[in-house]
Every structure is written in C-alpha cells, then in structure tokens.
Copies of this chain bind each other. A is one copy, B any other.
Amino acid sequence: MNKPVSKAILQRLPAYLGYLRTLPAQTENISATGIAAALSMGEVQVRKDLALVSGAGRPRLGYPVQALREDLEHFLGCDDVVHAVVIGAGKLGRALLDYNGFESFGVKIVAAFDNNEKTLGETKTGKMVFPMAKFPDLCKRLKVHIALLTVPADCAQEVCNELTENGILAIMNFAPVHLQVPENVLVQNENIAPALAVLSRHLAEQLAHMI
C-alpha cells in the first residue's frame, strides 16, 4: 500500500495540510522553508516529511500548493470518508458531534449514543443521539469502526468492551483512564492532564525566572 511512516511524522502531516488550506487561493507555490516558518518548525524536517508524501517538489520553486494539498489529502485518507460515532452525549460529546472540522480530514461523525434519556433526540445540527441499546445494530448497519469515547471514567472500560465487541477498531479516548483493548484495536488518548502538566511546569519555571 503506502510507504511506512512513523507515528511522529504522521502526526505532523495534518498540520501541513491545515496550513495549506489557509493559503489564499491564488498562491501557486509554497516552499518547505515557507511552511516551516509559518509553523515554527525546522525546514529540513518539513522537507523530509513532504518528500515522503509528495513528489511534486521542484528545486527553486517549491511545491505547487494544489498538488501538495491533494497528495497530503490522499495520504491521510481525506478522500474516502469513514464514519465515526460519539459515545456519551455530555457537553464534550455534543461539542464533538456538532463540530464539523473532522470531515475535511475524512472522518464523518454520524451519530451519538448515550444512556441518559434527557440527551436523546436530534441536536441542532440535525445529528441524532440514540440510546446505547441501539449501538450494536446501528454500528453494523452504518459500518462504523471509529468511536470517540466521552463517558465518565468509572464506566469507560465497560463501555469500551461493548465497543470492541461490536466492530470498533479505533477509539479516541477522552476519559482519564487507561483502556484495555484487544490487540487489533488502537486507542488514542486525548487526556489533557499530561498537557496540563507540561503547561504547569513551564509556568513554574517562568515565574521562578522572574523572581
């Protein structure tokens, strides 16, 4: 299929694509140097990353914006849309459900599931929140393999088991617990505690400098 790309590189590619999309439509070419400057990255790193994904680079000119964007989109699978569901329709869950920024990366959130009757029904963007009992059936019918898990920590593992038993192969986990999953299932943790730790420590250092 595709060349093997490390996780570190894979995580940077969406940033390049996002930047290209902010460029004015008439911009014809963009250099790795330019992208690096805009994203505060090393230009060699950008160049090496792009070389893995696109062969459209031309010495002296850089990359044609449109070709590079298409190559990135193709590589990241933005072309063929996959379906995802949100599990847990609390504030965070509903924010994810109504956020439409994922579609440009090839992921479409089709529905949410929750056990709380109060949250059931249609959201203002027209997406449905179903009772959890309907998950197994709908998951198969809608061919969903990605779940965004936003349930409380104390039931996250239990719900996670139900997901993997019904064909979910990739989970974005917002609950602050480590999930045990079968080998072929990938969990991507989106806890903000680690990020917070980094911020908090940086702050302590900055404030210490000021004294």
Contacts and interface: CB of A to CB of B under 8 A. Distances in A.
Contacts of A15: 178, 191, 193-194
Given A105-B193, A172-B195, A188-B198, A177 B98 contact: no
A10 interface: yes
Copies of the protein in its oligomer: 2
A18 B176 contact: yes
A138 to B, nearest CB: 18
Contacts of A45: none
Contact of A198 (B7, B101, B197, B208): B7
Interface string A40-82: 1000000000000000000000000000000000001100001
In this complex, the interface size class of chain A, counting residues with CB under 8 Å from chain B, is: 35 or more
B203 A145 contact: yes
Interface string A170-211: 111000111010001010101111111111111111111000
A133 interface: no
Given A18-B177, A145-B207, A188 B184 contact: no
Interface of A: 1, 7, 10-15, 18-19, 22, 38-40, 76-77, 82, 90-92, 94-95, 98-99, 101-102, 105-107, 145-146, 169-172, 176-178, 180, 184, 186, 188, 190-208
